[in-house]
């Protein structure tokens, strides 16, 4: 008697939305792409993730997966982003094969997130390059 189940604590996997958290950067080109202020060739969109073709592809299949939240790099991700990172990771093979990468194991793709100046990062909104298709590629 008198015992009541406590309301669930917020789950780590709960979705964070850029609009709710005001986590966009007005000077960021990828935030502008998400907002449609800069055109892009969209591959995928949901309430927290956006994917689009790289403007300067290194490989026959080359697109970027980004969070709608402005997270500067994977080095800035925190435990609250765990679910988001997992969902981005699971999208990579799904979208890679949808966009023309041949099946594993003969085909496949590369997943890269350049981080910081020495990591070769030029755009400081975390993005994951997904590259695939027959070699040779321009880079990598």
Selection from ligand 5GP, Zn ion, none that 123 binds (CB < 5 to 8 A by kind) is ligand 5GP
Look up residue 96 and give its two tokens: 């890679």
Scored b (16 or more CB within 10 A) or e, 60-97 reads: ebbbbbbbbbbbbbbeebeeebebbeebbeebbbebbb
Binding segment for ligand 5GP (CB under 6 A), chosen from 18-26, 65-73, 119-127, 132-140, is 119-127
The least CB distance from residue 30 to ligand 5GP, in Å, is: 8
The SS3 of residue 125 is coil
What's phi and psi for 50, nearest 5 deg? -135, 140
Binding segment for ligand 5GP (CB under 6 A), chosen from 1-9, 50-58, 66-74, 103-111, is 50-58
Judged by beta carbon, residue 84 or residue 126, the one nearer ligand 5GP is 126
By CB under 6 A, tell whether 29 contacts ligand 5GP.
yes
The least CB distance from residue 29 to ligand 5GP, in Å, is: 5
The upper half-sphere exposure of residue 83, i.e. CA atoms within 13 Å in the direction of its Cβ, equals 10
By CB under 5 A, tell whether 125 contacts Zn ion.
yes
By CB under 6 A, tell whether 54 contacts ligand 5GP.
yes
By CB under 5 A, tell whether 124 contacts Zn ion.
no
81 is catalytic: no
Element (H, E) at 93: helix 82-98
Element (H, E) at 52: strand 49-53
Selection from Zn ion, ligand 5GP, none that 28 binds (CB < 5 to 8 A by kind) is Zn ion
């Amino acid at each position: 008697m008198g015992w009541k189940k406590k309301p669930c604590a917020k789950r780590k996997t709960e979705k964070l939305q850029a609009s709710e958290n005001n986590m966009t950067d007005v000077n960021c080109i990828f935030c502008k792409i998400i907002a449609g202020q800069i055109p892009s060739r969209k591959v995928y969109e949901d309430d927290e993730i956006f994917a689009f073709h790289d403007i300067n592809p290194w490989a026959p299949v080359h697109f970027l997966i980004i969070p709608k939240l402005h997270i500067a790099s994977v080095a800035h991700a925190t435990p609250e982003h765990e679910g988001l990172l997992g969902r981005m990771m699971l999208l990579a093979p799904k979208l890679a094969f949808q966009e023309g990468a041949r099946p594993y194991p003969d085909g496949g793709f590369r997943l890269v997130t350049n981080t910081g100046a020495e990591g070769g990062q030029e755009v400081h909104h975390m993005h994951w390059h997904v590259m695939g298709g027959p070699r040779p590629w321009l880079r990598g």
